[in-house]
Structure 1
Amino acid sequence: MRFINPKIDFAFKKIFGSSQSTEILISFLNAILYEEESIIKSLEILDPYLGPQVAGAKNSYLDVKALLNDGTFVIIEMQVLKVQAFGKRVLYNAAKTYALQLTRGELYKQLRPVIALTITDFEMFRGEQDVISHFVFKERNRLSDYLQNDIELVFVELPKFKKELDRLETLTDKWIYFIKTTGTLDEVPQTMVTVPEIQKAFEIANQVSLTQEEFNILQQQEFFAQDQEGSVAVGREEGRQEGRQEGRQEGRQEAQIELITLSLNRLLGQLNPDIENRIQQLSIDQLDDLVTALWDFSSLEDLTTWLEANSQ
């Protein structure tokens, strides 16, 4: 067997955010968020796109969004590379999900809690050993909770998870191991088969179940992820050689533009000079946002709309 890599955007959404993923997502979230207690009984998987309320405002593209049976919203992001201002992006998406619940005339008491679960393939918090971190609003000195602790940020840092297959003890261990290693496995480990939801996740992750179109999208994203790592390395190396921060940023920006343009040409067809020029004018932050949105574009019109909203 060969399995798709859950750390790739398309694969993560297919495994955890598709119409057949409800029981998988319930098991996964109970394990990660609630220490394996069966707090979540049911949930609804929602459209993960967070559109702007006003023209020209910033779009947000999440990997998975769900509404739990108690009314809590959970938004999930899988991030392979640490990009500039990533921590701010996590907080922005959580705050936006919270704020967008209300429309004109609705009351603040109708707001429901939001949990932002972020899984990273890099270390977010250097010097800390915990694989899973939970952040909520606290009073600075007394460390008491705020009156409405409605926004919680949860991080799972995959590099800090060191357990091998024979040391997996809990459901939480097994789910983190699944995300971290499935792309490298050629069979379903026997210790994982005992969990029906994980077994189902492996079935969805089996490459045999993909259509040709899905396989092509997955392959493009895998190539792009590999090239992205290379672009970051190139930017750092050029920065070291030139001995200044601007060199590192400029090198990374040029490599990022080249990779994005190549991927969009493959995905949407040959870009016209005007679109290429607009992409070249984007800042590093805007290029990072474009990478996040890249695979949600199904036409050149989608790309043009994004550029109009985000490059002003």
Structure 2
Amino acid sequence: MCTEGIIDRYVNFYTDFAFKKLFGTEMNKDLLISFLNALLHGREEIEDITYLNTEHIGTQEYDRRAVFDVYCKNNNGEMFVVEMQKGEQQFFKDRSIYYSSFAIREQAPKGVWNYELKGVYTIGILNFCFTDSRNKEYYHEVKLLDTRTKELFYDKLTFIYLEMPNFIKKEDELESMFDKWMYAIRHLGALEKRPDILREKIFQRLFDVAEIAKFDRKERYEYEDSLKAYRDWFSVMETAEIRGMERGMKKGMEKGMEKGMEEGMKQGIEEGKHRQLIDTARRMKELGMDDDLIAHATGLSSEEIANC
């Protein structure tokens, strides 16, 4: 059996293979149901979900395509787009809004329709932090609000973003099922055994499904390929960051040297002008001119003129 590159007991959640296996397969949908119920903090109870086609095309042939990580609806017909993001993208928020539009538009039936929509949830599990994030918050829930009154304008469109690096609670600080899911997701790949605090049956299911030793040969190869892709991606991003820092430092040094040379040249010119004035004052003194007249003509001080 292929074992190269795999030394962990459980899968790395941030690999595409692990995310799809744990949250995107019919046989393991109880994991996603539990996670979503914990995420919604009891506002509604999801009893079942139906996985939908993850690949979507616009209404026109030339429209752009969208491929979701996980796309499903619950027993009440509400739509869920669940995405796992390894790293920050320049227009990630735009992308998130764009993806939600498919879940809205696809609800339009053929024929007569009064425009009533089911709720749409777009959920991002992020292995990075927003650059504009404040106070190390890890949970963000975004809705349409009236900017003047701050009252909720529309309650059927919800964006939830989880900044996983900001979730720093330890085992003895976990209180809710949501805390436990956050902890399990963040630390899954680094755990050697199931933590005692995660005693619920659903977490036993999670660790059983995530245990690499229980994979068949095909799954093992697929996970290793996914893990390699994740490591390669991480290495590329880390290298790009280092190169960016190096270029920034080099540019800063060049700018500093350029500024230094500019200031040096300016100082040299000033010193040259001053020496020229001194020479002029000396010649004027040799011609017997009065010190006051020399000072007026050159702008030199009486002390400088006396030392000429």
TM-score range, shorter chain: 0.7 to 0.9
RMSD: 2.1
In the other structure, the counterpart of 2:15 is: 8
Q: How does 1:38-117 map to 2 (within 5 A)?
A: 39-117=45-123
Amino acid at match of 2:218: E
What SS is found at the alignment partner of 1:179?
helix
Amino acid at match of 1:3: Y
In the other structure, the counterpart of 2:164 is: 158
- 1:52-74 per-residue CA deviation (whole Å, 9 max, x = no partner) reads 33223211121212211222101
Matched, 1:127 2:127: no
Return the alpha-carbon distance in structure 2 between the equivalents of residues 29 and 154 of structure 1.
11
What SS is found at the alignment partner of 1:200?
helix
Q: How does 1:221-300 map to 2 (within 5 A)?
A: 221-243=226-248
What SS is found at the alignment partner of 2:27?
coil
Report how far residue 94 of structure 1 moved: 0.9
Return the alpha-carbon distance in structure 2 between the equivalents of residues 203 and 93 of structure 1.
32
- 1:108-161 per-residue CA deviation (whole Å, 9 max, x = no partner) reads 534211000111011124213332111000011101222x43211001111111
What is the count of residue pairs matched by the alignment? 241
Change (3 A) 1:239 1:55: same
Return the alpha-carbon distance in structure 2 between the equivalents of residues 93 and 82 of structure 1.
16
Contact 2:108/2:115 (<8 A) preserved:
no
Report how far residue 48 of structure 1 moved: 2.1
What SS is found at the alignment partner of 2:83?
strand
Identity of aligned residues (%): 24
One of 125, 145, 148 as aligned partner of 1:141: 148
- TM-score normalised by L of structure 1: 0.71
Report how far residue 51 of structure 1 moved: 2.8
Which consecutive residues of structure 2, in runs of 5 or more, have no partner in the other structure?
1-7, 250-308
Report how far residue 227 of structure 1 moved: 1.7
Give the greater-gyration-radius structure (CA): 2
One of 180, 188, 193 as aligned partner of 1:174: 180
One of 163, 177, 192 as aligned partner of 1:186: 192
Report how far residue 177 of structure 1 moved: 0.7
Return the alpha-carbon distance in structure 1 between the equivalents of residues 19 and 178 of structure 2.
17
In the other structure, the counterpart of 1:205 is: 210
- TM-score normalised by L of structure 2: 0.72
Report how far residue 243 of structure 1 moved: 4.4
Amino acid at match of 2:142: F
- 1:179-198 per-residue CA deviation (whole Å, 9 max, x = no partner) reads 10011112112221x21112
